[in-house]
Chains A and B, each alone.
Chain A
Amino acid sequence: MNASEISEIIKKSSKVVPKGGRTKPGSLCDMPSDATVIDLTQLCGIVEYEPDEYTITAKAGTSIKTLIEAVAANGQYLPFDPLFKDNGATLGGTIAANSSGSGRYRYGGIRDFILGIYFVDGMGNIVRGGGKVVKNASGFDLSKFMVGSLGRYGILTEITMKVFPKPAEYRTLEVTFGSLEDALNCTFALANTPFEMDALDFRRVTRDGRETNLWIRLGGLPESLPGRLNRLSSWLEQNTSAQTIIRKEFDGTHWDGLNDVEWGQEAKNLIKVPVSPRKLLTLDKCESINRAHYYGGGNVALVSADDLGGLTSTLNNLKLNGQLLRGDAEHPHLGNRGWVGLAQRVKQALDPDSKFLGV
Chain B
Amino acid sequence: MNTESFYQQLQEICPGRRTLTRDVDLLPYESDALVAFSTKPAAVVLPESAEEVVAIVKVCYAAGVPFVARGSGTSLSGGSMPIKDGVVIALNRLNAIKHIDPEQRTAVVEPGVVNLHISNAVKQYGLYYAPDPSSQSICTIGGNVAFNSGGAHCLKYGMTSNHVLGLKVVLPDGEIVEFGSESLEGMGVGPDLIGLFVGSEGLFGIALEITVRLLPIPEQYKTVLAGYDTLEKAGDAVSAVVASGLLPGAMEIMDRLALKAAEAAVKTGYPEGAAAVLIVELEGESQQVEREFEHLVNVIEGSGAFEIQVAQNEAHRAKIWKGRKGAFSSVGRLSPDYIVQDGVVPRSQLGKALAEIEKVSNSYGLQVANVFHAGDGNLHPLILYNGREQGALEHAEALAGEILAICIKLGGTLTGEHGIGIEKRDYMPQLFSETDLDAMYAIRNRIDDKGIANPGKKLPGGEAPALKMHGMHPLEKAGIISRE
> Which A residues contact B (CB, under 8 angstroms)?
50-55, 75, 98, 104-105, 107-109, 111-112, 121, 125-129, 131-149, 153, 164-166, 168, 188-189, 191-196, 220-221, 223-224, 227-228, 231, 272-278, 296-297, 299-300, 320-323, 333, 337-343, 345-346, 348-350, 359
Residues of A within 8 A of B298 (CB): none
Find chain B residues with CB under 8 A from A108 CB: 158, 162, 184
Who on chain B is nearest to A48 by CB?
Answer: B411
Q: A193 touches which one: B184, B216, B431, B433 (CB < 8 A)?
A: B216
Q: Is A134 within 8 A of B154, CB to CB? A: yes
Question: Interface size on B (CB < 8 Å)?
Answer: 98
Give A185's nearest chain B residue, CB to CB: B103
The minimal Cβ–Cβ distance linking B329 to chain A, given in whole angstroms, is 23
A346 touching B247, Cβ below 8 Å: no
When distances are taken between beta carbons in the complex, the residues of chain A under 8 Å from B442 are 349-350
Choose among B162, B287, B443 the residue that contacts A224 (Cβ–Cβ < 8 A): B287
- Whether A121 contacts B439 by the Cβ 8 Å rule is yes
Q: How far is the CA of A79 from the CA of B29 in the complex (A)?
A: 44
CA gap between A144 and B193 in the complex, in Å: 8
In the complex, chain B residues 187-239 whose Cβ is within 8 Å of any chain A Cβ: 187-196, 198-200, 216-219, 239
Give the nearest-CB partner of B124 in chain A: A192
Supposing A133-B345, A165-B245, A194-B219 touch, asked if A341 and B439 sit within 8 A by C-beta, the answer is no
The interface residues of chain A lying within 8 Å CB-to-CB of B243 are 51-52
- Partner-binding segment picked from B53-61, B315-323, B330-338, B371-379: B371-379
Please determine whether A137 and B415 come into contact, CB atoms closer than 8 angstroms. Answer: yes
Contacts A141-B198, A149-B191 given; does A224 touch B288 at CB 8 Å: yes
Question: A304 to B436, alpha carbons, bound, how many Å?
Answer: 40
Judge whether A348 and B446 touch: CB under 8 Å: yes
Indicate whether B185 reaches chain A with its CB closer than 8 angstroms: yes
- A340 neighbours in B (Cβ, 8 Å): 190
Q: Is the CB of B373 within 8 A of A135?
A: yes
- Inter-chain CA distance A339–B242, complex, in Å, is 40
In the complex, residue of chain B having the shortest beta-carbon distance to the beta carbon of A188: B103
Contact of A141 among B161, B185, B412, B415 (CB under 8 A): B161
Query: Is B141 located at the chain interface by the 8 A CB criterion?
Result: no
**Which residues of B have CB within 8 Å of A337?**
189-190
Given contacts A135-B373, A136-B413, contact A153 B195 (CB under 8 A): no
Q: Report the minimal beta-carbon distance from A137 to chain B, rounded to whole angstroms.
A: 5
Q: What residues of chain B have their CB less than 8 Å away from a CB belonging to chain A? A: 101-106, 125-127, 147-148, 150, 154-156, 158-159, 161-162, 171, 175, 177-179, 181-196, 198-200, 216-219, 239, 242-243, 245-247, 284-288, 290-292, 295, 344-348, 373, 376-378, 411-420, 424, 428, 431-433, 435-436, 438-440, 442-447, 458
Task: Given A299-B183, A350-B439, verify A278-B344 contact (CB < 8 Å).
Answer: no
- Chain B residues within an 8 Å CB radius of A126: 435
Interface centre among B127, B175, B178, B288 (most CB of A within 10 A): B288
Q: Judging by beta carbons under 8 Å apart, are B104 and A277 in contact? A: yes
Q: Please, how many angstroms separate the alpha-carbon atoms of A257 and B428 in the complex?
A: 45
Instruction: Tell me the bound Cα distance from A121 to B221 in angstroms.
Output: 46
Docked complex Cα distance between A137 and B373 (Å): 15
Closest Cβ–Cβ distance, residue A143 to chain B (whole Å): 7
> What is the CA–CA distance of A135 and B344 in the complex, to the nearest angstrom?
7
Q: Is the CB of A145 within 8 A of B196?
A: yes
What separation, in Å, do the CA atoms of A231 and B198 have in the docked complex?
A: 39
* Across-interface contacts of B177 in A (CB, < 8 A): 338-339, 341-342
Q: A131-B413, A141-B196, A341-B175 are in contact. Are A276 and B148 (CB under 8 A)?
A: no
Min CB gap A173→B, angstroms: 15
B199 touches A133 (CB 8 A): no
Determine if A278 and B104 form an interchain contact, defined as CB atoms under 8 angstroms apart.
yes
